[in-house]
């Protein structure tokens, strides 16, 4: 009788293993991981109003959040199957390469340098670098006016250094971990301007329109892409298809109007997603 009991236990173990969750390797395509687990961990910013924000009531809201949710849905992962993880300018690449996240949708500009480390789908949005100043700062009309002034950007990003290199060699650069820290310092008079992409700055204007403004003279072109692990060609193709569908369905514009429109920021036309 004992051998029958042991045999039955063994069969139960085999059956349980066969019915358990599929084994997924970190090297598997995003498409495989999404299909096998019905779950994705997506890296977003938590402090970019209009784009991606963790609100005080615990929600995640913004255009990037809508894009990420739409893409996940097209990969077969419902909203309840998404784990949102905060990522920053300084950690986006390592979050992807370490496997901490499956995707990064975080105002992530596509650059040749970054493409050496990660792969990109998209672009899903196009913007340009600009300046955020106090509404009373009538004398700052562009980056050339920043000599001798204090300019803030976030650790791990390049916009402030670009201003120093190209427009105002005597500008004083200040770095904080988050754009919200820069904006707080701007409102307190501790710095004179914040620089990053105009659409990011627009979210802060929408929050405090009586105190802040965007200069309105973009001086770069930034194509936002969705970051994936390096060489995941199947994943890139699937995410590209999802972006195209979001644009053609009208959901792309609807989300922009809802999240960015109130700032008065002039919305760009949808980008063309090239075949890769």
- State the pLDDT confidence band at 242, using cuts at 50, 70 and 90: very high
For residues 153 and 205, state if they share a domain: yes
Q: Which residue has the higher pLDDT, 56 or 10?
A: 56
Q: What is the pLDDT of residues 120-143, one digit of tens each?
A: 999 999 999 999 999 999 999 999
- State the pLDDT confidence band at 230, using cuts at 50, 70 and 90: very high
For residues 144 and 169, state if they share a domain: yes
Q: What is the pLDDT of residues 160-175, one digit of tens each?
A: 888 999 999 999 999 9
* pLDDT confidence of residue 22: 52
Domain assignment present for 50? yes
Q: What is the mean pLDDT of residues 24-42?
A: 90
For residues 200 and 227, state if they share a domain: no
Domain assignment present for 33? yes
Per DSSP (E only), the strands in 7-140 are 40-44, 47-48, 52-54, 60-61, 82-86, 103-109, 118-127, 129-134
Peptide bond connecting 205 to the previous residue in cis, omega within 30 degrees of 0: no
For residues 34 and 120, state if they share a domain: yes
Domain assignment present for 175? yes
Q: What is the pLDDT of residues 53-69, one digit of tens each?
A: 998 899 999 999 999 99
Domain assignment present for 206? yes
Which residues are CB-contacts of 256 (< 8 A; sequence separation ≥ 6)? 63, 267
The strand pair at 40-44 and 60-61 is best described as unpaired
For residues 256 and 121, state if they share a domain: yes
CATH number of domain containing 32: 3.40.190.10
* pLDDT confidence of residue 177: 86
- State the pLDDT confidence band at 182, using cuts at 50, 70 and 90: very high
* pLDDT confidence of residue 151: 96
Cβ 242 vs Cβ 234: under 8 Å: no
Domain assignment present for 187? yes
For residues 101 and 229, state if they share a domain: yes
Domain assignment present for 268? no
Domain assignment present for 162? yes
Cβ 42 vs Cβ 83: under 8 Å: yes
- Give me the torsion for CA of 92, 96, 99, 104, rounded to 10°: 80
Cβ 61 vs Cβ 242: under 8 Å: no
* pLDDT confidence of residue 148: 95
* pLDDT confidence of residue 18: 36
* pLDDT confidence of residue 9: 41
Q: The domain containing residue 146 runs over which residues?
A: 129-214
Domain count, the chain: 2
pTM of the model: 0.83
For residues 51 and 159, state if they share a domain: no
* pLDDT confidence of residue 154: 86
For residues 45 and 123, state if they share a domain: yes
For residues 64 and 121, state if they share a domain: yes
* pLDDT confidence of residue 59: 94
For residues 142 and 251, state if they share a domain: no
Q: What is the pLDDT of residues 73-117, one digit of tens each?
A: 999 999 999 999 999 888 999 999 999 999 999 999 999 999 999
């Amino acid at each position: 009788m004992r051998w029958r009991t042991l045999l039955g236990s063994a069969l139960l173990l085999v059956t349980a293993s066969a019915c358990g969750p599929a084994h997924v390797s970190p090297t598997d395509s995003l498409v495989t991981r999404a299909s096998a687990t019905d779950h994705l961990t997506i890296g977003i910013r938590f402090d970019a109003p209009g784009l991606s924000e963790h609100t005080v009531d615990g929600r995640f809201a913004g255009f990037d959040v809508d894009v990420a949710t739409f893409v996940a849905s097209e990969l077969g992962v419902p909203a309840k199957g998404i784990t949102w993880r905060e990522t920053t300018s300084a950690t986006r690449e390592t979050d992807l390469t370490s496997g901490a996240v499956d995707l990064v949708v975080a105002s992530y500009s596509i650059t040749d340098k970054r493409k050496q480390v990660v792969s990109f789908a998209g672009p899903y949005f196009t913007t340009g670098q600009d300046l955020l100043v106090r509404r009373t700062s009538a004398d700052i009309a562009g980056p050339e006016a920043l000599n001798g002034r204090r300019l803030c950007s976030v650790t791990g990003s390049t916009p402030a250094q670009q201003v120093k290199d190209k427009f105002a060699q005597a500008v004083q650069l200040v770095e904080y971990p988050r754009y919200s820290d820069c904006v707080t310092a701007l409102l307190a008079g501790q710095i004179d301007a914040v620089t990053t992409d105009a659409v990011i700055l627009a979210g802060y204007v929408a929050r405090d329109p009586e105190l802040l403004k965007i200069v309105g003279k973009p001086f770069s072109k930034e194509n936002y892409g969705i970051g994936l692990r390096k060489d995941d060609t199947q994943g890139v193709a699937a995410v590209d298809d999802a972006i195209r569908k979001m644009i053609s369905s009208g959901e792309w514009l609807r989300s922009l109007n809802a999240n960015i429109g109130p700032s008065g920021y002039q919305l760009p036309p949808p980008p063309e997603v090239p075949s890769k």
